[in-house]
Structure 1
Amino acid sequence: MAPLTGRLAPLGKPLTYVLKALAPQLEHVRNGSSRYDVSVAVRDSRSDPAAARQAVHDLVTTDRAHIVLTMAGTQVLPAVADACEELRVPCLSTTFPWQAYVHARGAAPGHHFQWTYHFAWGLDDIATVFAEMWEQTGGTHTIGCLWNDDLQGSLLRHDRYGFAPVTSARGHDMADLGPYREPAGDFRTQVGRMREYGADIVTSAATAADLSLFHRQARQAGLRPRLITCSRWLTYPHTHTTTAPDVHAELADARVATLVYWSPAHPYRSSLDGTTCADLAHAYRRDTGESWLQPLGLAHALVETAHHALSTADDPTDHAAIARALAGTALPTIAGTLDWKRGPTPNIALVRLAGGQWHPGPKGPDLAIVTNTQTPDVPITGELQPT
């Protein structure tokens, strides 16, 4: 299940690329002494929750899927997972903070889903990495929080699962600049609150277009954040999420810092064929003419894990057996070791985070890794550059 069309389509490219690249290795799986032929069916979520639910139904009833793979979409991904849970078919997903994955489905941490499994990082992990980068600019800070009025924003504000429990313990003061509706038309109220609170650093989960608008209006008001940290859309190069040249110029000037869950510098290998992170990034650029994207490594790990589950399930044609195999998986992948037996909550395997900053480069934005406390095996590739 991939967003082939609609607003999430740029994020569907890594999964479709990986499926094509690994096609020869996905023609069959060996399970014990038996060999099973495998068919891969791809359905378009159309970047829409209702369309995604219908597509899951088609995958299960028409294509007779034994396992569903998906990634991307604050609303789409939970819709896919819920549909799989209702249809009693195993689902594996990624690229979505695990607290949001649980809460978007009407549950709380500790809840056990029977059929649906996920691997990602937590909001607390993002907060830790962002705080490390704030502290590289010196001491503690008043942080202006530019968060929307949707699920992502409400969870970032959550008094137990959001940023505050992590960042307040480190001495930072979180100043909420006020919720906004996406896409935003005006941030003058939020800019005014930034001045009122004396916030010198801003953290957000905004789209490229919205963050660009905020930065421009802040500059026009005579304010310039020393650092902007942004998750969600800005984990990708802003040149991939919008075609607007003015947005590109504004965000290049802002030098946004973000979380890094995968890069060519990560020292991991594919469990399928030994491909390294650098190999995968190089092949993607060679084959598509585009720069690597962080979801590329997670898409590859998604397929690796599904292949492993089919290879180790008691019966790879039985949905319940595949779900049990996923629950017991601890697998070294190109995105690091994924271990569903360790948590942090049922149905979740944790992906460790580094911190990076987008630096201007001759071929577009370049993501330099500037902090690696949680991932010491990932090399630092650049220095944080406050504005």
Structure 2
Amino acid sequence: MGVVAPLTGRLAPLGAPLSYVLRALAPYLAHVRNGGRRYEVTVAVRDSRSAPGAARQAVRDLADRDGARVVLTMAGTRALPAVADACEEAAVPCLSATFPWQAYLRARGADPAHRFRWTYHFAWGLDDIARVFAGLWERVCARATVGCLWNDGLHGLLLRHERYGFPAALSDRGHTLADLGAYREPAGDLQDQADRLRELGAEIVTSAATAADLALFHRRVREAGLRLRLITCSRRLTYPHPHTRPASEVHAELGAARVGTLVYWSPGHPCRSSLEGTTAAEPARAYQEDTGDPWLKTLGLAHALLETARHALATAADPADRAAVADALARTRLDTVAGRLDFTAGPTPNIALLPLAGGQWQPGPDGPRLTVVDNTAHPAVPLTGELTPPD
């Protein structure tokens, strides 16, 4: 079993949950039973170094030197597709998670009808994010003019897309989406976007900005004397802990903004691991005790990634044959600690969907705290708080 993770470089904090889960689940990954026979399993981890080129080389090393029968990866909008493409080229099964399936396909130059032979991904869709965010907006205003702070890269292009993005998903909700103007990451100023927000008179903003860029925009908005009623962002504060903070002033700027976001996993999710039978609350609690940091949403995805890979090895016609493992992934229907993954019923081949809830980052005694405030799209997830306005 091969793993490509960002152990070094700018994405290293994103690799921490996967590294942690690999250690925690090591006893369950040491061997697998298939057809009455016991197979020993070696887990080989390679560093993507947070770069696409190094990620591709990691796959080649795992395939050629380590003989990996399956490769796992998560995190990195450029590194993850590089791993998947390299696995497709090397004819090695690949399983990944963490960003919307439309972005996964588009980053690889594929359309939704394309069927990959070797590579599989589980996540959610841009349309799912749009509907969750609209549910949060509607708690503030039934029909809103929403300022869209979207970059000029893959995220922004897809969010604007008439078929895959927010406009199509929200066409019947009555909201007006107003593009504030594309910008290059990292942003240099964002004054033009703040000026455009003033012209619109919009009090709600939605974004997929980095923490640093969203903080810069929020500062420009404050300097203009504007007050926002809500910000929703799918990227900001995914990893809010001290060792991941790019700068203390970034989180100081956004701390009182109470940013709304998506929740794809939490300790309250009513799910159990297929490996050791633990509830979602247990790995979250163990992570906090072992690291001293609050739980991360990606912890559940990392756990499910390993559960699914082990399941594929256990159910493949021949776990030592890569084609058989790929076929096992394609027919996987498995209840994991992150929820049920069904690769036979996705929106497109090779994809399994996870539902989303709506959350809000609220101030807590130990820093930002993620609260589930809307479970309309995933009623089984318990609410842990109410949507509150910015300070």
TM-score, normalized by length of structure 2? 0.98
d(CA) in 2 for partners of 1:343 and 1:265? 24
Alignment partner for residue 358 of structure 1, among 358, 361, 370? 361
In 2 relative to 1, CA 199–240 (structure 1 residues): closer, same or farther, beyond 3 Å? farther
CA contact (8 A) 1:238 1:251 kept: no
Question: Which residue of 119, 129, 133 maps to 1:126?
Answer: 129
Partners of 2:355 and 2:378 within 8 A in 1: yes
Answering whether residue 187 of structure 2 is matched by residue 145 of structure 1, we say no
Work out whether residues 49 and 80 of structure 1, in 8 Å CA contact, stay in contact via their aligned partners in 2: yes
Q: Deviations over 1:101-157 (max 9, x none)?
A: 011111111210000000000000000000000001131100100011111110000
Mapped to 2, the partners of 1:219 and 1:106 lie a distance apart of 39
Q: Does 1:25 align with 2:28?
A: yes
Contact 1:336 1:351 in 2 (8 A): yes
| Higher mean C-alpha displacement, 277-286 vs 163-172 | 163-172
Q: Which stretches of structure 1, 4 residues or more, deviate above 4 A after TM superposition?
A: none
CA apart distance, 1:236: 3.0
Identity of aligned residues (%): 70
Secondary structure in structure 2 of the residue aligned to 1:265: coil
Cα deviation, 1:224-269, whole Å, max 9, x if unaligned, reads: 2110000024333265542422111111111101000001111111
Of the candidates 170, 182, 207, which is equivalent to residue 185 of structure 2?
182
Aligned with 1:169: secondary structure? Answer: coil
Provide Cα deviations, 1:150-172, integer angstroms capped at 9, x if missing partner: 11110000000000112231001
In the other structure, the counterpart of 1:16 is 19
| Partner of residue 216, structure 2 | 213
Q: How does 1:58-97 map to 2 (within 5 A)?
A: 58-97=61-100
1:296-315 matches, within 5 Å, as 296-315=299-318
- CA deviation string 1:297-329 (max 9, x = no partner): 000000000000000000001111000000000
1:57 is matched with which residue: 57, 60, 73? 60
Are residues 239 and 211 of structure 1, via their aligned partners in 2, closer, same or farther at CA, if it must alter by over 3 Å? farther
Q: d(CA) in 1 for partners of 2:243 and 2:263?
A: 16
* Length-normalised TM-score, structure 1: 0.99
> Does residue 1:98 correspond to 2:101, yes or no?
yes
Decide whether the 8 Å contact of 1:239 with 1:248 is kept in 2.
no
**One-letter amino acid of the structure 2 residue matched with residue 108 of structure 1:** D
**Is 2:260 the counterpart of 1:257?**
yes
SS in 1 for 2:80: helix
1:345 aligns with 2:345: no
Gaps of 5+ in 2: none
Give the match for residue 375 of structure 1. Answer: 378
What amino acid does structure 1 have at the position aligned with 2:7? L
CA contact (8 A) 2:212 2:246 kept: no
Aligned partner letter, 2:122: F
Letter in 2 for 1:274: G
Tell me what 1:38 maps to.
41
Q: Distance in 2 between matches of 1:236 and 1:228?
A: 17
Task: Measure, in 2, the Cα distance between the counterparts of 1:311 and 1:61.
Answer: 23
Amino acid at match of 1:220: E
Q: CA contact under 8 A between 1:94 and 1:120: conserved in structure 2?
A: yes
Change (3 A) 1:239 1:125: farther
Alignment-derived partner of residue 285 in structure 2: 282
Counterpart Cα distance in 1 of 2:190 and 2:236: 18
Aligned pair count? 387
Unaligned runs of 5+ in 1: none
Q: 1:376 to 1:230 in 2, by over 3 A?
A: same
| SS of residue matched to 2:5 | coil
Q: Does 2:172 match 1:169? A: yes
Distance of 2:380 and 2:76 partners within structure 1: 29
Task: Provide the residue aligned with 1:247 in structure 2.
Answer: 250
2:211 and 2:235 in contact (8 A); partners too: no
Q: Distance in 1 between matches of 2:374 and 2:279?
A: 21
CA–CA distance in structure 2, aligned partners of residues 102 and 248 of structure 1: 32
**1:4 aligned to 2:38?**
no
Pick aligned residue for 1:109 from 105, 108, 112: 112
Contact 1:235 / 1:259 at 8 angstroms: preserved in 2? no
Cα distance change of structure 1 residues 253 and 366 upon mapping to structure 2, 3 Å threshold = same
Are the equivalent residues in 1 in contact too, given 2:231–2:258 (CA < 8 A)? Answer: yes
Structure 1 vs Structure 2 CA RMSD = 0.9
* Cα displacement string for residues 308-364 of structure 1 (whole angstroms, at most 9, x for unaligned residues): 000000000111100000000000000000000001110000010000000000011
SS in 1 for 2:73: strand
